[in-house]
Amino acid sequence: APRPRARRAAPTQVARREPITITTKYWTAKLSNHGAVATSWVLRGYPEGGSIRPIRPAEGEHLELIPQDVPDWLARPFSLRLPWSPELTRELAEANFHVEGVGPNENEIDLRAGAQKEITFVYSSPTVTARKTFKFTGDSFVFDVRAEAVANGTQQPVEVVIGPRIGDQSDRQTGSYALPPQIVAYGLDGSHYQIPGANITPPFATVTGVDYSS
């Protein structure tokens, strides 16, 4: 009897670098498909009492949250980390993801009130397949990020890296603001946490569960 053919591993996808800029009334974010990360996030204001309260940096005109001098070996914001495989983590950090949800020349996205945009970054190689989806709403200060990774046909644990050093990049001294930096988190039961940045030490946080039903 003829032998069954061995299944070939899917070839590695090849994509060119594609920067994408998303603008809402609150912020302007720049994403790169190289690692599927954020390279810039400029805040202009936040919702308060039905209006937008302007945000001013410690210095300059724009409040940039993401450092622009990050060395190549350090993970960018929203990069994927596979805690069980440093090698695959490195592969994803250096890969150019394919971009779904945007047109071939849709690199500048201006989201009006009520408009939504879902952008998915996809990477596939013989060793791993990874997806990361951002969902933005034009009149919302918050956004959603979901990620998954599959290796050897099995869904694997995956983490989304927050950082490094996200915050006002013009703040060069302690005490530049009336209130010190804080970590703000909301629980699924509506609980609210505000933790001073000085009290946060590595590991910063661990996500123990995600509610996808909301």
User: Do residues 118 and 101 make contact, with C-beta atoms less than 8 angstroms apart?
Assistant: yes
Q: State residue 186's pLDDT score.
A: 63
The per-residue pLDDT for 43 is: 92
CA-wise closest residue to 125 among 25, 3, 15? 15
User: What is the secondary structure of 177-200 as a DSSP string?
Assistant: SSS--EEEEE-TTS-EEEEEGGG-
Cβ atoms of residues 77 and 68 within 8 Å: no
Sequential pLDDT tens for the chain (214 residues): 555 454 445 566 567 888 999 999 999 999 999 999 999 999 998 888 888 988 888 888 889 999 888 787 788 899 999 999 999 999 999 999 999 999 888 999 999 988 999 999 999 999 999 999 999 999 998 899 999 999 988 999 999 988 777 877 877 665 555 555 666 666 667 677 776 666 655 555 555 555 555 4
- Measured in whole angstroms, how far is the alpha carbon of residue 170 from the centre of its chain? 21
**Amino acid letter, residue 179:** L
* DSSP track, 53-72: EE---SSSS-EE-S-S---T
Claim: this prediction has a pTM higher than 0.85: no
pLDDT for position 47: 86
Burial (0-12, 13-18, 19+ Cβ within 10 Å), 3: exposed
* Residue listed under structure tokens 């060119």: 16
